[in-house]
Homo-oligomer: A and B are copies of this chain.
Amino acid sequence: MLKFILLGLLDYRAMTGYELLGWINVSTGNFWHAKLSQVYATLKQLEGDGDVISHVEAQESKPDKRVYTITEAGRAALADWLATPITEHEVKKDGLLAKVFFTSPDEKDALLSQLRLQLKLHQDKLSEYRQEAPAAIGQMLAEQPELAMHAYLWEATRRFGEMYETMYIAWLQESIRTLSEQLP
């Protein structure tokens, strides 16, 4: 539900669609992401539902921008979503696991090289969670010092990313080792 991600961010402060995507990329990118086109489409839908309102601001030496502000109805919708607990186990989808599952056992070398490529991708992501992500939290706090208490929650989600990538790397290393022994 990108809808709620946008409402959550607009609850911090009014922003344009372009700015929203910037925040998504540095903060919620860990657990939710979107394309700019979807951000604009969703904002339009939110405005139609009365959850946000917008106005156009002219700028010097930059294009005009449309700034979105959350409404009371929008705050209520957000609070409602936050208060609704998730009671089912959320199912993940992972294309790599699908390939591992269905690879033909005689394609051992191709599989192992795909796993080694993944290892590099996940190691890079891990160092991002350890370096860029804490910096992004600091940046957000610098812009909005009143959100200090929120930083603990942001940190918890960053920490998830760190633990997830650590686990993924451990699984890749274990799998590379055991499959290289087990497959013919």
Contact = CB atoms under 8 A, between A and B. Distances in A.
Interface in A150-176: 150, 152-154, 156-157, 159-160, 163-164, 166-167, 170-171, 174-175
Interface of A is mostly: helix
B8 A94 contact: no
15 contacts: A1-B98, A4-B98, A4-B102, A30-B97, A32-B97, A78-B102, A79-B104, A83-B110, A86-B99, A105-B152, A152-B178, A152-B183, A156-B175, A163-B167, A163-B171
Interface in A79-93: 79, 81-83, 85-93
Contacts of A171: 159-160, 163
A183 B101 contact: no
Given A31-B92, A86-B95, A88-B121, A152 B182 contact: yes
